[in-house]
Chains A and B, each alone.
Chain A
Amino acid sequence: MTNSPIVALHGTPAVAGGNAPSEICHSPLAPGGAHVRSVRDEFHGDLLEVSMGPHHPSTHGVFRMIATLDGETIVKLKPVFGYLHRNHEKIGENTTYLGSMPYTDRLDYLCSMTNNWAYALAVEKLAGQPVPERTEYLRVILAELTRLLNHTCLAGFLLQDTGASGTPLMYAFREREKILDLFEALSGSRMMCNYQRFGGCRVDASPEWLEAAKRLADGYNEFLDEYEALITGNEILMARTQGVGVMPRQLAVSAGITGPMLRAAGVDYDIRKVDGYGVYPRFNFRVPLGDHGDTYDRYMIRVLEMRESIEILRQAFAQLPSGPIMDPKAKIRGFKPKPGEAYGRIEGPKGEIGFYLISDGGANPYRYRVRPPSFINLTVLEDMCLGHSIADAVIILGSIDIVLGEVDR
């Protein structure tokens, strides 16, 4: 056998020497779960270290994976973060409470409306600020529209990752533009809405806007039917995703996974039901659960969630009361909450998005901490990828639904 070490694409040689004894890579998070025996004998040869990213078309931004491969099988995967670390939390501590609102848009830049809501919820808890009923309904409408937007984009990007280049993403972005038109009409910006305020929201939705949003929600099932007819039963998609990247239920709970990923593993945990924040207890909707925890389940959960979101939207439009959108006692200028701490969380499209704030009575938070769902969901990437091929790692990463603005902050 050849004894020359294969030089890794990045940095040091992957494995020094070709005759190292066989080893078992155990995942620390999964006791008795996924493990891969990597044998290096004359048939298997050396391991190869491949650095994917930070510039790679499939990493959804500037994420880097250092994968150790035995042939094409992943035996070790080390994620490298921080290429988009924009000092979000430090800036939040040096800005006023309201000044951080536009920054939350740029956390998870696909879902600015839910980020706004989570942050507003945390500050409202901190200051004991009530919110008018109409605003609560508007928040639900916007959050569910954001969920539609995010899951649609995810379905498009996931298909892009499997190699269906272009077409599914075109369908997804066609719908995304329709939702962005609504956001733009309401808040003035397509992506960075900066819409919520503490104790209300910035502008009221006009009857025309509500009419347009209602039309979109009513027509969305049609798009989903079309998309599902193209994609869901597709044999190639099934072959590429079913049984790939299985996440056991126990691992999902112990690693703190939230959102569609957790529910795809079969855990019934939805903060809309658990916390019942806002006016969600008034709506009748179901929480879809998966039973395999594989990539296909994670895709299906999102499609089913979109259908439930449409139901919530229909009920919200029917129940939407008239009234003020801003609490008359809400303070915009000179906003200084009393000393204390608060944690506000909502069920964002990617999982539990939460903001933890400590106030020392000043105009700026003393501590400003974000609980980013996709960062915590990303921690199980290695456990899901072990034993699969490098091409599957791309799909598994796509099904986690990461946004680097939120992962690195």
Chain B
Amino acid sequence: MTDSANTPTPLSDADRDELRRQGILLTSLEELYNWGRSHSVWPLQFGLACCAIEMIAASMARFDIARFGSEVFRPSPRQADLLIVSGTVTKKMAPQVVRLWNQMPEPKYCIAMGACAISGGPFKQGYNVLKGIDRYIPVDVYIPGCPPRPEALLNGLMTLQEKIRGQKLTGPNAPRHLRADDACEYPVPEFGETDLVPPTNPEVWQPPTIVRPDKP
């Protein structure tokens, strides 16, 4: 939609309200598509550690993730849209997590729930702990906490829904699954001599550059 000559003039809110009063709803295909997708995000029933218990708690009566259309936890990655990495990813488990991510069909999203999934958390200094799942797969929403409360997970889910609603169907900002040239298979790490090989996936993760202010 970059060609401004073809873009129709948008309706004003007053016009829309008037049409709605007459029983006419106007929307774009993009909006409708994203609205539908954002309210039916099915997570993978996949628990790793402590955060998984809070994930279960979020799907239970008090927090009721069903209000957001995400109560359908699917045991199979083939039916899931959302991978909630809920807990510590160890080096033994990381290949499995990446494989599960590869098995999920596009469009798919990933939430890193808890300090361990983000960075290794309290176990970061451990020899067997992956220092963040974003080294191998692209993460959409990070939820800090150890473990995050169920409300935090709901907030993360709402953030993800907002992100989905903002996605464009065409153009250079189209999401990964609409771009033909983008990789949909992520390399699964293997056990090397001392560490996972490769230690990171450079396409999704680069070591952070530390910018220090110049000394006065």
- 8 A Cβ contacts from B2-58 to A: 45-50, 52-54, 56-57
Would you call B70 an interface residue if the criterion is a C-beta within 8 Å of the partner chain's C-beta atoms?
Answer: no
Decide if A113 is an interface residue (CB 8 Å cutoff).
no
Q: A106-B50, A109-B53 are contacts. A87–B127 as well, Cβ < 8 Å?
A: yes
B125 at the interface (CB under 8 A from A): yes
Residues in chain A near residue B200, CB distance under 8 A: none
Complex CA–CA separation, A346 to B53 (angstroms) = 24
Closest to B47 in A: A61
A177 to B77, CA, bound (A): 29
Majority-rule SS of B interface residues: loop
Pair B45/A83 contact, Cβ less than 8 Å: no
Residue with the greatest number of chain B CB neighbours at <10 A, chosen from A56, A85, A87, A170: A85
Residues of A within 8 A of B147 (CB): 109, 191-192
A55 in contact with B60 (CB, 8 Å):
no
| Residues A61 and B123 in contact, CB atoms below 8 Å apart | no
How far is B128's CA from A90's CA once the two chains are assembled, in angstroms?
11
Contacting pair B60 A87 (CB below 8 A) = no
Q: Is the CB–CB distance between A85 and B90 below 8 Å?
A: yes
B49 touches A84 (CB 8 A): yes
Q: Is B198 an interface residue, CB under 8 A from the partner?
A: no
Given contacts A83-B93, A102-B122, A173-B61, contact A62 B53 (CB under 8 A): no
**B92 within 8 Å of A by Cβ?**
yes
Asked if A286 is at the interface (CB within 8 A of a chain B CB), the reply is no
In angstroms, Cα B46 to Cα A161, docked, is: 15
B61 touches A85 (CB 8 A): no
- List the A side residues contacting B108 at CB < 8 Å: none
- The answer to whether B49 touches A405, judged by C-beta atoms less than 8 angstroms apart, is yes
On whether the beta carbons of A61 and B52 are closer than 8 Å, the reply is yes
Instruction: Kindly state the interface size class of chain B when it binds its partner.
Output: 20 to 34
Our pick among B45, B53, B88, B126 for the contact of A57 (Cβ within 8 Å) is B45
- Closest Cβ of chain A to B178, distance in Å, is 28
Asked if A177 contacts B125 (CB within 8 A), the reply is: no
Residue of A nearest to B116 (CB): A86
A125 within 8 A of partner (CB):
no
B90's contact among A83, A90, A169, A177, by CB below 8 Å, is which?
A83
Known: A62-B93, A192-B146. A91 touches B123 (CB 8 A): yes
B96 to A170, Cβ gap below 8 A?
no
Max chain A C-beta neighbours (<10 A), residue from B49, B90, B93, B100? B49
Binary contact track A60-85/B, C-beta < 8 Å → 1, others 0: 01100000000000000000001111
Interface centre among A106, A110, A176 (most CB of B within 10 A): A106
Question: Shortest CB–CB separation between residue B47 and chain A, in angstroms?
Answer: 6
**Is A162 an interface residue when CB atoms closer than 8 A count as contact?**
no
Instruction: Bits for B54-77, please: 1 = Cβ < 8 Å to A, else 0.
Output: 101100111000000000000101
Are the CB atoms of A404 and B100 closer together than 8 Å?
no
Interface residues in A238-265 by Cβ distance below 8 A to B read none
Q: How far is the CB of B195 from chain A (nearest CB, A)?
A: 14
Question: Complex Cα distance A360/B175, Å?
Answer: 58
What residue in chain B is nearest A404 (Cβ atoms)? B49
Contact of A170 among B61, B87, B93, B146 (CB under 8 A): B61
List of B residues within 8 angstroms of A57 by Cβ = 45, 75
The contact of B92 among A56, A83, A90, by CB within 8 Å, is A83
Of all chain A residues, the one with the shortest Cβ separation from B48 is A62
Residues of chain A lying within 8 A (CB to CB) of residue B113: none
A94, CB-defined interface residue at 8 Å: yes
> Which 3 pairs show the lowest CB-CB distances between chains A and B?
A87-B126, A109-B50, A173-B60
A-B contact pairs, 20 of them (CB 8 A): A55-B100, A57-B45, A61-B47, A62-B93, A82-B90, A82-B92, A83-B90, A84-B49, A84-B88, A84-B90, A85-B128, A86-B123, A87-B128, A91-B125, A94-B125, A169-B60, A173-B60, A173-B61, A190-B149, A404-B49
Q: Which residues of B line the A interface, CB within 8 A? A: 45-50, 52-54, 56-57, 60-62, 75, 77, 87-88, 90, 92-93, 96, 100, 122-123, 125-129, 146-147, 149
